[in-house]
Structures are given as C-alpha cells and as structure tokens.
Amino acid sequence: MSLLRIEGLDVRYGPVAALRGVSLEVGAGEAVGVVGPNGAGKSSLLLAIAGAVRPAGGEILLDGAPITTLRPEEIVRLGIALVPEGREIFGELSVEENLRLGTTVRDDRAAAQGHLAELMAAFPILQERRHQRAGKLSGGEQQMLAIARALLCRPRLLLLDEPSLGLAPLITRQVYRILHDLRRDGMTILVVEQNPVRVRHLASRVYLLRTGEITGSGTPEILGRPEDLEAAYFGYRKRRRATGDAQP
C-alpha cells in the first residue's frame, strides 16, 4: 500500500481551477518529484496535502485513510511536514526558537530536546548560529533551517516546495545533498520543482504537471527527454520522423 495516494484532486480559488483531476502516489521510503512550470499548480498540490487548502474534489489518503478534511495541525500529527516555498521562517526569532516551533506538535518533550540536539549536530551552521536572528541567515541557511524545523515534527512524509528557489548552484547542491541523505536514511519525500535537474537525481519517479493536470509520469529518465519536457512546460509534443528529425 502507498503511504500517500491522491485520487482525482481538484483545487479551486474561486472560479480559477488550480488542479484538475490530479492523481499520484508515493510509496513508503520513496522520493517522488513533481516538475512543472511556474503556475502549474505545484504549490497548490502540496498545500492541499498539508491541509492548508481545502480541495474542491477528489481524495487524499495517508496509509489508506482519508485526510482530505483534516486541519493542518492534525495532518502534521499524522506525520506530514511541509517545507514551504520561501521557507517562511520567523526572522525576528532566533535560529533555536524557530527550531523549537517544530516541536510544538510533540508530546515527548525530552525526546524532542534530544532530537533538537541531533539536528544541531547534523546542521553545524545552525548550531553555530543558534542564538542569531533567523532573518540574518543567508538563503541557503534559511532553507536548512526550514528543513530542520520540519524534521523536528518527526514526519513520515516530507513535502518540499521549490527547495532550490533563489539559491546559488553551490547552495542548491548542499540542500539536495541533505535530501539525498534523508532518502538514504528511509525518509519518504515528495518534492516539487520548476527546475528538473536536481529532481532527476533524487527521485525514483516523477510526475509532470502543467496547468493543473498531470501530463506525464515515469522514471526520472523522462526528464531527459525533450519531448516530455516540452509537453509539460509548453503543452505540445514534437513528432519524430523515422530519421530522427523533429517537426512541429
């Protein structure tokens, strides 16, 4: 059974349809990517899973049980944590205070304190700057803080919305190295990205999303096929002649 299964998901903002009939699944311990252009509905997908947006139709199931109508805090307690686009850290709070916000859904205070210490060791820059205002961190450091804060919720499923957005290539590699380590350790990951390059090396399967609909899915190799990316990003496919030439 899939850890997460989505069936026919519709999300609307008034008359505007952000998602139409989206279906996908994520197996336990699997890393799955959703790739598509800006405005494809990627953020709406993650917000619906996290309970921040109420779907207009369809169903979201965790371990086969529906979570579509649950509140965000209930979904976090069930084991889903979101690292949102833009990080959404509290700039006036210290790094440590931001991290402690990730433990508010936990009842095991002693274990949470131990987990915080472990994450400080895993993210040395956060340990070094634990008393510094989070707003003073660089973009990459803020992304690491957002990931660590989500991990303190003890998620079974980690959702990441454009984790490379606005980051320099070197910092993006560092962030994705963290995600590779998490996957190696058994974390289930669903990541959405506009840029397919990093997802290709992280995910075992990918979905292509365009204008609110899934236009393709498969192994990461589809991200290396121009015709698939053209269909996802521009809405058309090129036909290929027998000689290998392409025509519109």
Average pLDDT, the chain: 88
pLDDT at 246: 35
The model's pLDDT over 129-142, given as tens digits with 9 standing for 90+, comes to: 999 999 999 888 99
What residue segments make up the domains of the chain, in order of their start?
A: 4-87+155-237
pLDDT at 247: 33
The model's pLDDT over 28-42, given as tens digits with 9 standing for 90+, comes to: 999 999 999 889 999
Element holding 15 (H helix, E strand):
none
The model's pLDDT over 70-106, given as tens digits with 9 standing for 90+, comes to: 999 999 999 999 999 877 888 899 999 999 988 888 8
**Quick check: 247 and 241 in contact, CB under 8 A?**
yes
CATH 3.40.50.1860 fits 4-87+155-237, yes or no: no
Q: Rounded mean pLDDT of 47-68?
A: 97
Q: Which residues does residue 216 pair with via DSSP β-bridges, in sequence order?
A: 208
Q: Rounded mean pLDDT of 58-68?
A: 97
The model's pLDDT over 190-227, given as tens digits with 9 standing for 90+, comes to: 999 987 888 888 999 999 999 999 998 999 888 777 67
DSSP 201-240: HH-SEEEEEETTEEEEEESGGGGG-HHHHHHHHHS---EE
pLDDT at 105: 82
State how far the Cα of 46 lies from the Cα of 43, in Å rounded to an integer: 5
pLDDT at 221: 84
Structure tokens at 160: 């990441």
The confidence band for 243, taking pLDDT boundaries of 50, 70 and 90, is: very low
State how far the Cα of 102 lies from the Cα of 100, in Å rounded to an integer: 5
Q: What is the model's pTM?
A: 0.87
Please determine, for residue 233, whether its predicted confidence score (pLDDT) is greater than 80.
Answer: no
Q: Where are the alpha helices (H) located in 83-225, listed in sequence order?
A: 95-101, 109-122, 124-128, 139-151, 169-184, 196-202
How many other β-carbons are positioned within 10 Å of the β-carbon of residue 12? 17
The confidence band for 62, taking pLDDT boundaries of 50, 70 and 90, is: very high
Please determine, for residue 230, whether its predicted confidence score (pLDDT) is greater than 80.
Answer: no
State how far the Cα of 9 lies from the Cα of 43, in Å rounded to an integer: 13
pLDDT at 209: 94
Please determine, for residue 148, whether its predicted confidence score (pLDDT) is greater than 70.
Answer: yes
pLDDT at 112: 86
User: How far is C-alpha 245 from the geometric centre of its chain's CA atoms?
Assistant: 37
Closest CA to 188 of 208, 202, 171, 173: 202
State how far the Cα of 204 lies from the Cα of 131, in Å rounded to an integer: 38
Q: Rounded mean pLDDT of 229-236?
A: 67
The model's pLDDT over 158-195, given as tens digits with 9 standing for 90+, comes to: 999 999 888 888 888 888 999 999 999 999 999 999 87
